[in-house]
Amino acid sequence: MQAVDSEAREIRDLLVKVDSKLDGLQSGLQALDKKVDVYIARTDERFNSIDNRFKSLDTQIADLKKSTETQIADLKKSTETQFADIKVQLRAQDTRLWGFVVTLSLAVIGFLSKLAFFPSGRI
């Protein structure tokens, strides 16, 4: 009987040790679980921060695109106006040139006619 009692005590002691080790493992797992939750929360915060940065960049890009399109439209309008002004100036220059050419031609024809019809040199 003593052998059975000593074996029972040994088994009970072993079970107490196993139970205490299991409690230690359980507390370690709880601590590890808390650390994992903290890391998950940090990771979520980082992803949210990165997501907000991307949204901010998208907004900035959209604003830049609108600004660029506006500047291009203004430049196009200005260029078209300048081309219209240049066309008007060229027409005016063409008119003056043709007026000068016609006047010079008439003067030359008049001078040649005077020489042809009045060769004596008297006017």
Nearby residues of 114 by Cβ (< 8 Å), 6 or more positions away? 123
Instruction: Specify the amino acid at residue 100.
Output: F
Q: C-alpha angle 58/59/60, rounded to 5°?
A: 90
Structure tokens at 27: 């507390």
pLDDT digit string, tens, across residues 29-68: 888 889 998 999 999 999 999 999 999 999 999 999 999 9
State how far the Cα of 8 lies from the Cα of 30, in Å rounded to an integer: 32
What is the enclosing helix (H) or strand (E) of 105? Answer: helix 2-117
Confidence check: pLDDT of 1 > 70: no
pTM summary value: 0.50
State how far the Cα of 108 lies from the Cα of 94, in Å rounded to an integer: 21
DSSP class of residue 120 equals T
Confidence check: pLDDT of 80 > 60: yes
State how far the Cα of 35 lies from the Cα of 51, in Å rounded to an integer: 24
